Structure 1
Amino acid sequence: MAEAHQAVAFQFTITPEGIDLQLSHQALRQVYLSGVRSWKKRLSRLKNNFITGVYPASPSSWLFVVIAILATMYTRSDPSMGLIAKIQEHLPVSQSLSPQCQTVVSAVLFSTLLWLSLIFTMRLCLKQLLSYHRWMFEQHGKLSNTTKIWALVRIFSGRKPLLYSYQGSLPNLPVPAIKDTVKRYLESVLPLMSASEFERMKSLARDFESGLGNRLQWYLKLKALWAANYVSDWWEEYIYLRSRGPIMVNSNYYGMDFLYVTPTPIQAARAGNTLHALLLYRRKLNREEIKPVSCTIIPLCAAQCERIFNTTRIPGEETEITGINNSLSLLNSDYLAIYHRGRYFRLWMYNAGRLLSPREIEYQIQRILDDPSPPSAGEEKLGALTAGDRVPWAQARKQFFNSGINKRSLDCIEKAAFFVTLDDDEQGMMGNDPDGSLDRYAKSLLHGKCYDRWFDKSFSVVIYKNGKTGLNAEHSWADAPVVAHLWEYVLATDSFQLGYNEEGHCKGDINPNLPKPQRLSWDIPQECQEQISESLEVAKALADDVDFHVFPFRDFGKWQIKKFRLSPDAFIQMALQLAYYRDKGMFCLTYEASMTRLFREGRTETVRSCTSESCAFVKAVSSHKDHCRRLFRQACDKHQHLYRLAMTGAGIDRHLFCLYVVSKYLGVESPFLKEVLSEPWRLSTSQTPFQNVELFDLVNHPEYISCGGGFGPVADDGYGVAYIILGENMINFHVSCKHSCAQTDSHKFGAQIRRALLDLLALFCPDQNEPTIAGNPQTKKDL
């Protein structure tokens, strides 16, 4: 094949006349240019590491200190109190240096040591300031003097911090006290247990707290002293990488395109802008030009950003690894792996040392779309191996992809910057069936056909036939906010910066001499094809069981909720509690994801949204409005308090999880921990953050609004609910459950969510009639 020949830099043949050597100058030139790019990246990373290492000072401040010290010396004063003279005494004797030059060298050395000492002191101060979290628990407008002084963190923030500037100053995640964790746990399960069940659990907790818990806690504190984060590595390994079931649906999640707008209906053109924007983000990431994400003025940990690109989950029989392909190495991060109609391609994204323009990428994508070649035997559904159980995939990888062309092609996919699927389906909100089309769109992004995504890649971009896009992300390497930040940048860059011409094509010129995308070759034996079929069967059963409902809620949004002086997130969580109770007639253990990125290498913590206060409100929802409002505010305040505790390292579940891991390492059994870790989360919720607000103009362009993303159900008999608060007047919900459970229905639960939100609005709006809640006979019947 011609494209395969272009990928070879040289060929040689041994003949009777000698060795016939043929060089491909084009390929050698690409090798040279890739090396130049690699070294530029190395130098850029070296420079950024130095700038980050001296933060919050700047490299130019060193010169200021040196000049200041030399200036004071020339005024016949000694700012070093004799240290410069001591340094001069120990300088190597050199005939070429005059005494005056030796004094200057000594002064420069002293200035450098002074500068480094000042940097060390400033970093310690910054770390102490970033360790202060009491500001989160104070009422708005009623700040304590300590918090006002703490606001000095702005002084240490620097003018233009790089992405990783704060990493060395972020505090370590603290280990909560055993008694505090046990107390909060018992509070969380009180409304979910009968009196006898609670007394039994309280007895188990008391025995654990006074006995084994202290021993396990000692090991955990030892780890916290040694490791940057005592949770994250165990969380990644035991929750994600040691899971032996399919990661499709069970672990991976998705992100959607704009809800109401498709910038172009041309598939190749949308791919051109989207893929170019993704590589622009990677360039900014490599240069650390992305502004650090912050919570008010407090920076969040950016460690997860290092693994956005060139990352693949490598299957194993017992555990797996998140393989990170070094983005600075030669030739292994300048291309994408692309799937179309059962064929795999390698698409180089650079030519002559520069990133391809969107129009050039469109041209290359169109070449793939027009390629009539059929898939080879076993190639079409090869991706099903990544969708099924992990052990068969690990065994097949070891047996059939360990050498030869299969290994080279698999390496190409795993070392690609990311994975792209050119899908033949049309998705998005369709005018003839807006509700059903969004449900199908969500299912397509979550699992597709179960073989047309590479679920092991850090993320896979899906470009549909009608120009709609989306992505599917693997969960072990990072959490949704990191991927959401990337995706928001891509959507905004695609529509507002790159744009399209009048015909819907990407802007710019085409270089017709670009080498063709390279078709990957496979030699898949019959035994491997049988394993692919078995994995596909497992994945199809899982995918067909998923019941999804996606709906935009437009009746009101954040603006209206804030008028009530309530937290929008707490408001929605209480609505979810009310909806679940109406749907099931009972309460359940509820999971809400909260981040712990205020700490170094922080990931997530659990907020247990079902509380005694929320249950009291739900049970009294048909009572008098004033009483109902008071209970609702108490429930929201309790939820906010729990959310702040989780963010500041005082959550329950990660601490208990780590204690359980220590107990397994020690080979001891804890009845208390065993019961806690086996409790099902029948309502799993997560808010998708909207972070790049400045990139979108929702006032002048309200139609350019994202639909957010979602995930599969966590429990077989439960619901998964993701929601995104967009602008001031819209909330999008993604509800999932399983068809196999007769007690769950995503559409029914979605209707209960909508009804609960409207009832809560009526509770606080004075122009609504009292019977909206209290007098509604259907409401009383459901309760």
Structure 2
Amino acid sequence: MLWLKGPGARCWLPRQPPGGGWRAWSLARAGAGAGAARDYWRSADHGLVSSTWDLDHHFVHRSIIPTLHFQQSLPRLPVPELEDSIRRYMAAQKPLLGDSEYRKTEKLAKAFKNGIGKELHKNLIELDKKNFHTSYITGPWLDTYLSSRDPIVLNFNPFITFKRDPQESYNDQLVRATNLTVSAIKFLNSLRSRILEPDIYYVNPQWSKSKAFKRFLSFLPTSVSWYGAYFAEAYPLDMSQYVHLFNSCRVPKQGKDELFSDHGARHLLVMRNGHFYVFDILDPIGNILHPYEIQAHLINILQDEETVAEYPLGYLTTENRNTWAAVREQLLQAGNEESVYKIDSAIFCLCLDSFRVENSSHLSHCMLHGYGYNRWFDKSFSLIITVDGSAGINFEHSWGDGVAVLRFVNEVYADSTKHPAVVPRGTAATLCSTNVEKLQFHLNASIQSAVTVARQKFDKQRHKMTVKPFEFRKFGKQYVIQERMSPDAIFQLACQVAAYRQFGKIVPTYESCSTAGFKHGRTETIRSATVYTKRCAQAFIRDRKKYSAQELRKLIESCSKYHKFLQMEAALGQGFDRHLFALRYLAESRGDPVPEFYRDPAYQYINYNILSTSTLSSSSVFLGGFGPVVPDGFGIGYNIYDYWLGCNITSYMERDLDEFLLDLEGSLNDFFDVFQGRSLK
């Protein structure tokens, strides 16, 4: 793979030379000249930088098992049987449709299964056999993301926020920006040097701590390594998405965007007040600059006294993709090719915001969309840090899913807090930074006008967005497990009951489930609106006085049991959404008419997800979220902690969101009363 080439030879240096540290040794070996090395040693001798920045400080860790050791032997994502997908589809439609609508949809589904669907399924199987190196969903799913013409901000890009550093003095913007940046580059080095721990799900957590077990797995040939882990109930996950984590960018094109990567680029992109700055953060052989050099570069940027750019180009990444593609061509034709390339190829984008976060809602707005001018939403990810040290990630979604990004967040948070590269009141200010380049752009009247229009449209849209956090403290994961039920099922059921209370019916619901257990897996949908949740919602809302606490508990248990079954099916690639999507994509790609099955209003409705949900389970994360996928829906990012649960909900309808939050709290209170054996009033 291309991303393993280039600066991958960074680890071969035999030992650290005395006195000057790896930076000086790197400069000399890379041909930077004895003068540069002498200058660096001199700064170390005078205490301007530490001379202990050795090879071990260039990586987050050193894995016994090579990073991609299991990739070759990962099982392939199965193509479900068409009959099974239709059966699952009809089961998901049951709580959403009336009897007559259901019979009509059932008739169309049977005709599809026995007619054109059967032919499409056969063709899909044939294609899948030819493309044994990937999964049947990878290409179509990526193509759908890149073909969408909607703005990616608010519609696609999610965000994840870090918890604050436990030592409050380290939450200074400059200190935290340096520490998080250094840890991010250490993650990059570990990944490209193949010493990043592979993603493995351990049924028995003790295996994750056993060096002997890991050493055994590392000795297995890559062609069978997955099976060795499998027999010990350790399940390696696909890591193919990591290739696009760094040095990558989504590039707007007419009709369909492209993913661009240049893994040989060594520079960091920094945004401040809508201005762009770059500096090399890796030396010519791939070693990280000394942290106090990096900090000095950031000081240089923070001390730039320019106000917000008159025409901030970041607004263009909030535009309709065809509009942005046309303006980008104008940018290139106006002589900005080099500057645009430096943005696209940068390792990642560091956004230094010039304001403080006021509360949790403000934090979510900041990380989800900000004020537009200090973001480049097309980058694979942006690391955002405010004046008060609040930090988070906003990432472009086409290249990958939450598994890869959450792993990155976990590693970077742990490394930056346990092994901070710089300390408050360090010595960076005594260094003179001269290597920061401020990117300059030639903007004609047409481009300036496009930026102004993009800003107006973005400001109008972001002001419509409401984001509100929610916490429930009466119980959490431990309590629900003690009650012998699924914590995820309980939260999903609470959302269903809340929606039924608000809308008077069950509404289409999407819960994301990773299929990373398979080669090039992406996601599958858990359809958490079921006949069981409908029956339970009706009992709690419409007929609550007719049921005892014991009867209501049995209804909740039935929902939990069925939800766990749906989770298992989805994780094993046995949902129906991706399969039916792939069949439709195949028909459209061949130029065939869209089958009547897909033109059924019921099919359109089940994919109009009023509740779009996704969970983040991490001790490093404070908040996460994403925009609603339909104008009158809710985007629900939630986390279930040991002793409480919380979520972050987005909506374009503030009054409806307030009502939903009250109903959600009421549903969870009702569940708690039932768990306690108390009848509902």
Task: State the TM bucket, normalised to the shorter chain.
Answer: 0.7 to 0.9
Question: Once the two structures are superposed, what CA deviation does each residue of 1:508-545 show, in whole Å capped at 9, x if it has no partner?
Answer: 76772543311111111111010111122222222111
Where do residues 149-188 of structure 1 align in structure 2 (5 Å cutoff)?
160-188=64-92
Partner of 1:724: 639
Q: Quick check: 257-266 or 468-477, which moved more?
A: 257-266
Contact map agreement 1:170 1:600 (CA 8 A) in 2 = yes
3-state SS of 2:362 partner? helix
Q: Does 1:595 align with 2:514?
A: yes
Partner of 2:244: 307
Q: Quick check: 551-560 or 245-254, which moved more?
A: 551-560
Distance across 2 between alignment mates of 1:747 and 1:264: 36
Contact map agreement 2:164 2:391 (CA 8 A) in 1 = no
Tell me the TM-score normalized by structure 1.
Answer: 0.71
Partner of 1:556: 475
Q: Quick check: 626-635 or 604-613, which moved more?
A: 626-635
Contact map agreement 2:334 2:444 (CA 8 A) in 1 = no
Where do residues 247-258 of structure 1 align in structure 2 (5 Å cutoff)?
247-258=152-163
Question: Once the two structures are superposed, what CA deviation does each residue of 1:365-396 show, in whole Å capped at 9, x if it has no partner?
Answer: 11111122467763xx2111101111111011
Contact map agreement 1:547 1:745 (CA 8 A) in 2 = no
1:710: Cα distance to partner? 0.4
1:556: Cα distance to partner? 2.0
Instruction: Select 1:674's aligned residue among 585, 594, 599.
Output: 599
Partner of 2:617: 689
- Judged with a 3 Å threshold, the aligned counterparts in structure 2 of structure 1 residues 583 and 358 are, in CA distance, closer, same or farther, namely farther
3-state SS of 1:620 partner? helix
The amino acid across from 1:445 in the alignment is: M
- Judged with a 3 Å threshold, the aligned counterparts in structure 2 of structure 1 residues 677 and 368 are, in CA distance, closer, same or farther, namely farther
Where do residues 334-413 of structure 1 align in structure 2 (5 Å cutoff)?
334-350=266-282, 354-373=287-306, 378=311, 381-402=312-333, 404=335, 406-413=336-343
Contact map agreement 1:271 1:361 (CA 8 A) in 2 = no
Q: Quick check: 537-546 or 612-621, which moved more?
A: 537-546
Question: Once the two structures are superposed, what CA deviation does each residue of 1:14-68 show, in whole Å capped at 9, x if it has no partner?
Answer: xxxxxxxxxxxxx99897469xxxxxxxxxxxxxxxxxxxxxxxxxxxxxxxxxx
1:307: Cα distance to partner? 1.1
Question: Once the two structures are superposed, what CA deviation does each residue of 1:544-593 show, in whole Å capped at 9, x if it has no partner?
Answer: 11111113333321111110111111111111111111222211111000
Where do residues 341-490 of structure 1 align in structure 2 (5 Å cutoff)?
341-350=273-282, 354-373=287-306, 378=311, 381-402=312-333, 404=335, 406-427=336-357, 437-490=359-412
Contact map agreement 2:513 2:571 (CA 8 A) in 1 = yes
Distance across 1 between alignment mates of 2:290 and 2:550: 61
Partner of 2:130: 226
Unaligned runs of 5+ in 1: 1-26, 35-158, 431-436, 694-704, 776-783
Partner of 1:534: 453
Contact map agreement 2:178 2:421 (CA 8 A) in 1 = no
- Flag as ranges the 4+ runs of structure 1 deviating above 6 A: 27-31, 508-511
Instruction: Select 1:633's aligned residue among 545, 557, 563.
Output: 557
- Judged with a 3 Å threshold, the aligned counterparts in structure 2 of structure 1 residues 591 and 470 are, in CA distance, closer, same or farther, namely same
3-state SS of 1:492 partner? helix
Unaligned runs of 5+ in 2: 1-25, 34-62, 204-233
Distance across 2 between alignment mates of 1:418 and 1:638: 42
Give aligned-pair identity as a percent. Answer: 28
Question: Once the two structures are superposed, what CA deviation does each residue of 1:572-624 show, in whole Å capped at 9, x if it has no partner?
Answer: 11111111112222111110000111110001000000000111111112221
Partner of 2:651: 737
Contact map agreement 1:313 1:457 (CA 8 A) in 2 = yes
Distance across 2 between alignment mates of 1:637 and 1:689: 21
1:169: Cα distance to partner? 0.7
Distance across 2 between alignment mates of 1:505 and 1:391: 47
Instruction: Select 1:663's aligned residue among 575, 587, 593.
Output: 587
Contact map agreement 1:367 1:516 (CA 8 A) in 2 = no
Question: Once the two structures are superposed, what CA deviation does each residue of 1:97-155 show, in whole Å capped at 9, x if it has no partner?
Answer: xxxxxxxxxxxxxxxxxxxxxxxxxxxxxxxxxxxxxxxxxxxxxxxxxxxxxxxxxxx
Q: How many residues matched?
A: 584
1:480: Cα distance to partner? 1.4
Instruction: Select 2:99's aligned residue among 192, 195, 198.
Output: 195
Tell me the TM-score normalized by structure 2.
Answer: 0.82
Distance across 2 between alignment mates of 1:359 and 1:605: 44
Distance across 2 between alignment mates of 1:497 and 1:270: 12
> Aligned-pair RMSD on alpha carbons?
2.3
- Judged with a 3 Å threshold, the aligned counterparts in structure 2 of structure 1 residues 619 and 421 are, in CA distance, closer, same or farther, namely same
Q: Quick check: 513-522 or 207-216, which moved more?
A: 513-522
Distance across 2 between alignment mates of 1:677 and 1:473: 30
Contact map agreement 2:164 2:390 (CA 8 A) in 1 = no
The amino acid across from 1:543 in the alignment is: R
3-state SS of 2:622 partner? coil
Where do residues 53-202 of structure 1 align in structure 2 (5 Å cutoff)?
160-202=64-106
The amino acid across from 2:578 in the alignment is: R
Contact map agreement 1:445 1:472 (CA 8 A) in 2 = yes
Where do residues 31-46 of structure 1 align in structure 2 (5 Å cutoff)?
32=31
Where do residues 767-778 of structure 1 align in structure 2 (5 Å cutoff)?
769-770=678-679, 774-775=680-681
The amino acid across from 2:346 in the alignment is: A
- Judged with a 3 Å threshold, the aligned counterparts in structure 2 of structure 1 residues 415 and 352 are, in CA distance, closer, same or farther, namely closer
